[in-house]
């Protein structure tokens, strides 16, 4: 795993030179690759690279990597799991290799097949290839968006990087806050790509490639996740297909020249992965607030049963709150998923023992694991009533107090899935946003973001539509962003065997009844896991990395920390601060659980102070972004 960055053209500042600028852009992402660095300074391009050596860990694996006549220059972040058969195919076609790396397959593969290379790959990637003859740049991102790749055009110069930090380090970069992002963020708790919180900085969407030539950018989608359920598939056929393809995927994802470990919670996803790690290491974190917030004992018991060396950490409140700034610095953009910090700590523990870990991300989206996916079944009987009656009941329900039982049911039952589901996470409603945001700031319907996905999902059942929305928006904007940033902050490579295109090929065929039914989620996947796991683990409900923020925000110490932020000058720039304090006080008094909404605003304020007010993210260490 590595980090890449670069820019086209010359540096405008006469006191700077290209090499010094490139080194500065590369240095700020040293955490992504502390083992070595590499640079290419060519006619019209500067390319930087930081390496975390995993495959061919000798110096021969350093980048940039070239084709035979050095007309193609590659820098690459990721892993290609089928590089060996691709290498053999390219050797048979006459290509000459000088390394044993998976990286070199990309440069020769691009020389042979052009963009057609991408659909031949199995892996996670964000890479750049410069064509010295055509003076063109090719950028590509993997199928699900596991690896990030950002870009921006600044005064005719094209900048790109694995993290936005690299772009900000370019001299003369116009750092401007994107107010549209705040509007989206407080709806979703993250910024849905491709826009970012920085004006004119974009995230290349998953399964897309970008070509820059003669100053013009062209972006093309090369793959799209599509569900084609086979209704005649039996449960046994589905379970066997999942078991076979997942075993194959884990085997591919364990390819490495260094030791590979595994994250482990008490849920079925990471537990299923861990059963392929007998004798190796697993890692878990938790909080000292009872079983609801601590999966360590479950993980420890499972590790003992299947012969794993288990490592864990109990995170104290002081440690958690003391690292919020550091985490938001590494995230580049605010993400209000409280598990980010837990993921930071479990990555930190793992990095003390291994360089690579496998994790369970993606299983819920592919196989139907979220509890919200029950809703179409829960509403089915009610939605048989005429629409005009349901609309009338919803209008009455909206006027009722929040505490009225069934209020949400009546409102949602009068809406289509396109109207009521914006993804696995939904924060502030339109009414709340209008009340909270300062006048003049953008305040738009989140359905503007989700509509393009739903438009492509016409004709599918509601559960499948929900899964596709989460794959395209939630997975890329939250789950995989935090997984990449928190692991890379600790120089740890995180691999996700569920997010493999061969696994998706199987998942896309599973009929809806074997994904979600009235009793369970991930129906067929759980039964595949049951072949390797104890029943209690295979059937356990999802917890993830639960964090006791709702408890902390009712304690004086943390209430006061957040209140101070809510009454700050930064908060007053964007929000009606009295509304923020009212939200906090309502939660503290126990009248309503506002912890996720409070956390969403608080995280944004912390992030803004670091990236726009010059606040320190880690006293005594790296300086804040200028």
pLDDT at 37: 86
Which among 186, 2, 184 has a CA at the least distance from the CA of 77?
A: 2
Average pLDDT score over residue span 280-287? 91
Average pLDDT score over residue span 358-383? 94
Confidence of residue 11 (pLDDT cuts 50, 70, 90): confident
Q: What is the mean pLDDT of the chain?
A: 91
Distances in Å between the Cα of 543 and the Cα atoms of 264, 370, 463, 547 are 12, 10, 21, 10
pLDDT at 70: 94
Q: Please tell me whether residue 70 adopts helix, strand or coil conformation.
A: coil
Is the pLDDT at 543 greater than 70? The verdict is: no
Q: Give pLDDT tens digits for 64-75.
A: 999 999 999 999
Average pLDDT score over residue span 587-596? 95
Q: Give pLDDT tens digits for 195-208.
A: 999 999 999 999 99
pLDDT at 600: 97
Is the pLDDT at 377 greater than 70? The verdict is: yes
Tokens (6 digits) for 424: 């696995």
Asked if 287 contacts 314 with a C-beta cutoff of 8 angstroms, the reply is: yes
Is the pLDDT at 417 greater than 60? The verdict is: yes
| Active-site pick, 2, 5, 262, 340 | 2
Average pLDDT score over residue span 70-95? 96
pLDDT at 407: 83
pLDDT at 508: 98
pLDDT at 625: 42
CA–CA dist 221, 227 (Å, integer): 17
Annotated active-site residue 2? The verdict is yes
Is the pLDDT at 157 greater than 80? The verdict is: yes
pLDDT at 623: 39
Q: What is the pTM of this model?
A: 0.93
pLDDT at 12: 66
pLDDT at 292: 66
Domain 235-283+293-304+338-369+468-538, CATH: 3.40.50.620
pLDDT above 90 as % of the chain? 76
Looking at the chain, which residues constitute the CATH 3.40.50.620 domain(s)? 235-283+293-304+338-369+468-538
Average pLDDT score over residue span 534-552? 78
pLDDT at 240: 98
pLDDT at 55: 55
Q: Give pLDDT tens digits for 91-116.
A: 999 999 998 889 999 999 999 999 99
Question: Rounded to the nearest 10 degrees, how much is the dihedral formed by the CA atoms of 359, 120, 159, 35?
Answer: 50
CA–CA dist 38, 40 (Å, integer): 7
Is the pLDDT at 10 greater than 90? The verdict is: no
426, with CB counted inside 10 A (0-12, 13-18, 19+), is middle
Looking at the chain, which residues constitute the CATH 3.60.20.10 domain(s)? 2-221
Topology classification of domain 2-221: 3.60.20
pLDDT at 626: 38
Average pLDDT score over residue span 420-444? 94
């Amino acid at each position: 795993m590595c980090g890449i960055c670069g820019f086209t053209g010359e540096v405008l500042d006469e006191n700077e030179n290209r090499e010094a600028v490139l080194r500065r852009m590369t240095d700020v992402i040293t955490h992504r690759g502390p083992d070595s660095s590499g640079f290419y300074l060519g006619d019209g391009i500067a390319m930087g690279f930081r390496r975390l050596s995993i495959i061919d860990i000798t110096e021969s694996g350093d980048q940039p990597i070239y084709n035979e006549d050095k007309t193609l220059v590659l820098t690459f972040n990721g892993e290609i799991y089928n590089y060996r058969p691709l290498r053999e195919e390219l050797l048979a076609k006459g290509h000459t290799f000088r390394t044993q790396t998976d990286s070199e397959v990309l440069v020769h593969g691009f020389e042979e097949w052009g963009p057609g290379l991408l659909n031949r790959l199995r892996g996670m990637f964000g890479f750049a290839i410069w064509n010295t003859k055509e003076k063109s740049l090719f950028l590509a991102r993997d199928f699900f968006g596991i690896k990030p790749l950002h870009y921006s055009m600044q005064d005719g110069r094209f900048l790109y990087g694995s993290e936005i930090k690299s772009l900000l380090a370019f001299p003369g970069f116009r750092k401007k806050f994107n107010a549209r992002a705040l509007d989206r963020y407080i709806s979703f708790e993250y910024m849905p790509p491709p826009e970012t919180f920085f004006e004119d900085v974009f995230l290349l969407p998953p399964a897309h490639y970008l070509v820059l030539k003669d100053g013009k950018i062209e972006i093309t989608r090369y793959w799209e996740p599509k569900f084609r359920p086979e209704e005649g598939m039996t449960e046994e056929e589905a379970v066997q297909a999942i078991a076979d393809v997942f075993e194959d995927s884990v085997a591919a994802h364990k390819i490495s020249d260094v030791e590979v470990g595994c994250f482990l919670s008490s849920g079925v996803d990471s537990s299923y992965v861990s059963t392929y790690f007998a004798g190796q290491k697993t890692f878990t974190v938790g909080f000292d607030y009872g079983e609801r917030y601590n999966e360590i004992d479950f993980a420890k018991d499972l590790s003992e049963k299947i012969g794993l060396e288990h490592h864990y950490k109990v995170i104290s409140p002081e440690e958690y709150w003391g690292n919020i700034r550091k985490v938001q610095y590494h995230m580049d953009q605010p993400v209000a998923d409280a598990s980010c910090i837990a993921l930071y700590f479990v990555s930190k523990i793992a990095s003390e023992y291994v360089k690579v870990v496998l994790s369970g991300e993606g299983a819920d989206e592919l196989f139907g694991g979220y509890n919200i996916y029950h809703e179409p079944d829960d509403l089915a009987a009610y939605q048989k009533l005429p629409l005009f009656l349901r609309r009338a009941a919803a209008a009455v329900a909206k006027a009722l107090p929040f505490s009225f039982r069934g209020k949400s049911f009546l409102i949602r039952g009068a809406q289509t899935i396109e109207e009521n589901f914006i993804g696995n996470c939904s924060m502030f409603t339109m009414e709340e946003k209008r009340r909270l945001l300062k006048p003049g700031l953008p305040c738009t319907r989140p359905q503007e973001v989700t509509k393009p996905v739903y438009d492509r999902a016409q004709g599918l059942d509601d559960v499948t539509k929900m899964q596709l929305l989460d794959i395209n928006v939630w997975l890329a904007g939250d789950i995989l962003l935090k997984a990449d940033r928190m692991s890379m902050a600790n120089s740890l490579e995180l691999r996700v065997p569920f997010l493999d295109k061969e696994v998706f090929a199987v998942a896309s065929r599973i009929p809806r009844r074997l994904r979600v039914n009235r009793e369970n989620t991930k129906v067929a996947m759980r039964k595949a896991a049951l072949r390797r796991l104890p029943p209690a683990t295979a059937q356990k409900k999802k917890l993830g990395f639960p964090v006791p923020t709702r408890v902390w925000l009712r304690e004086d110490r943390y209430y006061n920390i957040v209140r101070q932020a809510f009454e700050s000058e930064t908060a007053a720039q964007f929000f009606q601060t009295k509304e923020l304090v009212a939200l906090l006080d309502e939660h503290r008094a126990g009248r309503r659980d506002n912890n996720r909404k409070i956390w969403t605003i608080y995280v944004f304020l912390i992030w803004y102070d670091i990236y726009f007010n010059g606040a320190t993210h880690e006293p005594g260490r790296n300086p804040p972004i200028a």
